[in-house]
Structures are given as structure tokens and as C-alpha cells.
């Protein structure tokens, strides 16, 4: 069948995934993944991966790891894989085969999700949201006539800086939708320039954060220290910081005003590690390498 949702039929082998499970370490290595060239871009690759994830859940495996070539990186990203390896290196080091020219990627497989039902879950969420929107929206009930050709709103007394906002307010339906002149002014001029600069800084900081997180020596810093496992940590470290907290601060958009402020947090993160663990710890080695 040409329909990837069709469950019957075995006339043709369209693809497959080979994996090696390491039950004691709770992960699986994908060694081979391919879909017939004549059957690609039809959703079969996603269906294969979802079936594999369901099987991994049944086997109690929580991570999937693989080496992707340059042509496959995009596919694996769509399937939830990332270049940022969160699984402790000790769990897979020496077990999986290293490939020159390949990019190591990882996917966490949540044990409570039936991945074969993901499309149905997304469709149900979409339907629910549209139903809720429809209870308050008017756009599907009120239709305004088309704007007359050559419409020129009356801009008498409106400053040049506010003329774009005033023209927008003259469009039927804009005011009725709840927009005000102040709202539209905030989207133009100095406010727009300020937003552009803030977004540019946010993008730069996220790029620096991703580059830091992708380093192999970054694995001890990706999540906060578990104080249940390390009960005296906060007695030694008074101002803890980690990469996940830094990411939240960046995405908030208002915490870091400069790149130097990000550097201060990153340096505090590695210095905290060195202070708590001492010079002979493998965690300190990672801190030095990341620094």
C-alpha cells in the first residue's frame, strides 16, 4: 500500500532498522536504518522509528544512540535525536562502534509514551485547541468586505513615526479584534529596533550555549546537581549553576543583557565543579577541558 497508515500487506519490503540492545545499560545502538528510495518521503521512516521506540519501551531501554552521516542528520533530528549527548558516557563508552565522519546522536525514549500513537495524539490536541479557540474567536463568524482600491486613511495630525500604525488601525476588524494604536506603535519604530537587538543577542547566546553543551566534556554540567544524591553540595557551593538553568535564562530573554554576563555564569559553573570535587576528580578534568 502507498498509504503509510495502512497496516496490512506484505508485498514489498520498504525499509528496516537494525539495532543492538544493551539491557544492563538501558540503551540501544542503531547500526542500520534505511528506507527504499522509491518509498521515501511518505512517512515510512518515521513509522519505522516509532515502532522501534515502542519495542525499546517494551525492553526497558531508555536511550537510543547512533552515528549519523551528513545525509541522515536531518532525518534523525525529526525523529527526536540530538547531538547533545545526555546519557553518561560511561554507559556507552567502549560498547558502541565509533565511525569516522559520522555524528553521534541520541534520543531519549520516554517509557510512558506509545510512539506509534503520536500522530493520533497530536491530531487530538489540535482538535481540542481549535474547539477551545472557536468558543471565543469571531474570525470564523465575522467577515469584513475587501478593502477598496486606493484606500487612503485620514492621517491628519498623525506624526510620521505613527503613520504605519494609524494605517493599520483603519483596516476594518483590527480595532474590533482588540488592537489599539499603542499596541501597533509598540511593533514599530524604536520598540521594534529594541526587540530586534534583543532577539539577535538571544540567538547569539543560544548558539554559544549549544556549542558549549555539545562538547564531550559538558556532560556533568547539563543538569543541576542532584542534592538527594549529594546532600552536602549546597553547604560547599552557595550559588549553583548548570547548563539547563543557563538555557532557561537565555530563553527568558531578559536575564542576560550582554555576552559577558553569560560568560560569568559559565565560569562560575566550572569553578563550582573544581571547588567541590577537588583536583583529582574526573569531574574536575571535564571542567578544565570545558573551560
Active site residues: 29
Three-state DSSP at 271 gives helix
Distance CA 205, CA 182 (A): 30
Distance CA 66, CA 81 (A): 9
Helix, strand, coil content of the chain in percent (nearest 5): 45, 10, 40
First to last CA, the chain: 54
Residue 202: all three cell numbers together:
538571544
What are the residues facing 107 on neighbouring strands?
64
Relative to beta strand 63-68, strand 27-35 is: parallel
Instruction: Judge whether 68 and 78 are in contact, CB under 8 Å.
Output: no
Distance CA 246, CA 240 (A): 11
Distance CA 211, CA 209 (A): 5
Q: How is residue 144 annotated by DSSP?
A: P
What are the residues facing 73 on neighbouring strands?
none
Amino acid at each position: 500500500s502507498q498509504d503509510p497508515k495502512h497496516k496490512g500487506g506484505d508485498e514489498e519490503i520498504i525499509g528496516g532498522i537494525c539495532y543492538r540492545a544493551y539491557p544492563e545499560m538501558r540503551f540501544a545502538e542503531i547500526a542500520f536504518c534505511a528506507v527504499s528510495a522509491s518509498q521515501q518521503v511518505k512517512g515510512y521512516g518515521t513509522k519505522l522509528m516509532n515502532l522501534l521506540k515502542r519495542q525499546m519501551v517494551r525492553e526497558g531501554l531508555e536511550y537510543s544512540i547512533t552515528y549519523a552521516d551528513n545525509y541522515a542528520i536531518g532525518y534523525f533530528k525529526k525523529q527526536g535525536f540530538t547531538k547533545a549527548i545526555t546519557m553518561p558516557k560511561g554507559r556507552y563508552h567502549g560498547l558502541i562502534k565509533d565511525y569516522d565522519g559520522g555524528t553521534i546522536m541520541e534520543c531519549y525514549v520516554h517509557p510512558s509514551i506509545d510512539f506509534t500513537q503520536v500522530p493520533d495524539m497530536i491530531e487530538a490536541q489540535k482538535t481540542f485547541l481549535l474547539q477551545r479557540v472557536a468558543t471565543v474567536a469571531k474570525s470564523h463568524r465575522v467577515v469584513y468586505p475587501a478593502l477598496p482600491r486606493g484606500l487612503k486613511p485620514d492621517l491628519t495630525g498623525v506624526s510620521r513615526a505613527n503613520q504605519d500604525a494609524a494605517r493599520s488601525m483603519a483596516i476594518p476588524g483590527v480595532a474590533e479584534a482588540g488592537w489599539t494604536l499603542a499596541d501597533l506603535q509598540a511593533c514599530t519604530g524604536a520598540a521594534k529596533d529594541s526587540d530586534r537587538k534583543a532577539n539577535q543577542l538571544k540567538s547569539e547566546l543560544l548558539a554559544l550555549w549549544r556549542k558549549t553543551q555539545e562538547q564531550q566534556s559538558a556532560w556533568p554540567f547539563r543538569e543541576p546537581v542532584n542534592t538527594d544524591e549529594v546532600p552536602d553540595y549546597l553547604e560547599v557551593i552557595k550559588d549553583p549553576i548548570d547548563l539547563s538553568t543557563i538555557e532557561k535564562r537565555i530563553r527568558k530573554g531578559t536575564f542576560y543583557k550582554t555576552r559577558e554576563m553569560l560568560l560569568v555564569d559559565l565560569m562560575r559553573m566550572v569553578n563550582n565543579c573544581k571547588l567541590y570535587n577537588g583536583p583529582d576528580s574526573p569531574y574536575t578534568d571535564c571542567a578544565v577541558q570545558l573551560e
